[in-house]
């Protein structure tokens, strides 16, 4: 569904992504692991068009989207939950969720999709509250709900468990698994909390110094001890 082909990206003179190639299939959760600073977040931002690729390609279901703007990628079916959530603190929960529909055409008369409120019932109770008044876990659910509002085919999540309580982590994990199984969603997940990542991973990719050093199905990578590969 989402494919990276020989991607290279630089910050100034620093070569951040080095010939990165990776396939993220539909109906599966692909977990991207690696130490801090190896290029994981940069890869996700390149997938969304927030950071331009110097060379290589990003494909969505075979279509080259490398030069498309972020809002065009959302229209084509990519949802993005950035590290730190980046919700709009002064907007209400309802307004934040409606922002997930903003890149789509025909916005007049839009309302929050019912499936979002069914997925995260706590948001229904807080539609008129400002996003900044929510707890960290509620904000994360809001950020995921916003990304899901436009019914993406690919969901990209950057550290979704960061700074939230264990009970909400468990709920988010259940939502991701259900979406993958029921909707055949392709999920690309960057996560430092290894137990959470392991509970969801259908496949792994390990990054080191801007390169994908190991990749494979979940069972195969577990046999190779993924924890040790990350430490290399």
Q: Are 177 and 211 in contact (CB under 8 A)?
A: no
pLDDT average, residue stretch 103-122: 81
Residue showing tokens 């969901």: 155
pLDDT surpassing 70 at residue 167: yes
Handedness of CA 217, 218, 224, 230 (dihedral sign): positive
CATH number for position 123: 3.40.50.300
Q: Considering only 15-24, 42-51, 139-148, 186-195, which range has the smallest mean pLDDT?
A: 186-195
User: Is 1 domain-assigned?
Assistant: no
Number of residues that make up the chain: 232
Cα angle for residues 198, 21, 1 (degrees, 5° grid): 70
User: Is 176 domain-assigned?
Assistant: yes
Q: Is 11 helix (H, G, I), strand (E, B) or coil?
A: strand
Alpha carbons 224 and 10: distance in angstroms, whole number: 31
User: Is 48 domain-assigned?
Assistant: no
Helix ranges (H only) for 52-165 are 70-76, 93-99, 114-119, 121-125, 136-148
User: Is 12 domain-assigned?
Assistant: no
How far apart, in Å, are the Cα atoms of 98 and each of 71, 101, 158, 185? 14, 5, 21, 21
pLDDT bin (cut points 50, 70, 90) of residue 220 is: low
pLDDT surpassing 90 at residue 49: yes
What total number of domains does the chain contain?
Answer: 1
For all residues of the chain together, what is the average pLDDT? 90
User: Is 38 domain-assigned?
Assistant: yes
User: Is 10 domain-assigned?
Assistant: no
Considering the entire predicted model, what is its pTM? 0.90
Specify the pLDDT at position 109.
Answer: 52
Range of the domain at 185: 18-42+53-231
User: Is 4 domain-assigned?
Assistant: no
User: Is 13 domain-assigned?
Assistant: no
Specify the pLDDT at position 224.
Answer: 58
């Amino acid at each position: 569904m989402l494919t990276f082909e020989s991607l290279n990206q630089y910050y100034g003179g620093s070569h951040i992504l080095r010939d990165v190639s990776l396939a993220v299939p539909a109906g599966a959760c692909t977990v991207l692991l690696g130490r801090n600073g190896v290029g994981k977040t940069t890869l996700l931002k390149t997938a969304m068009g927030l950071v331009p690729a110097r060379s290589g390609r990003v494909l969505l279901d075979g279509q080259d989207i490398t030069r498309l703007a972020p809002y065009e990628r959302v229209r084509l079916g990519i949802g993005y939950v950035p590290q730190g959530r980046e919700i709009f603190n002064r907007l209400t929960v309802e307004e934040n969720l409606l922002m997930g529909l903003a890149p789509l055409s025909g916005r007049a008369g839009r309302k929050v999709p019912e499936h979002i409120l069914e997925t995260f019932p706590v948001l229904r109770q807080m539609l008129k509250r400002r996003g900044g008044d929510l707890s960290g876990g509620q904000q994360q659910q809001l950020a995921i709900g916003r990304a899901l509002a436009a019914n993406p085919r690919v969901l990209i999540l950057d550290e979704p468990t960061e700074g939230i309580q264990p009970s909400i982590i468990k709920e988010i994990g259940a939502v991701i698994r259900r979406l993958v199984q029921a909707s055949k969603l392709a999920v690309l997940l960057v996560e430092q909390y290894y137990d959470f990542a392991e509970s969801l991973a259908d496949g792994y990719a390990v990054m080191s110094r801007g390169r994908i050093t190991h990749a494979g199905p979940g069972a195969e990578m577990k046999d190779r001890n993924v924890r040790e590969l990350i430490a290399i």
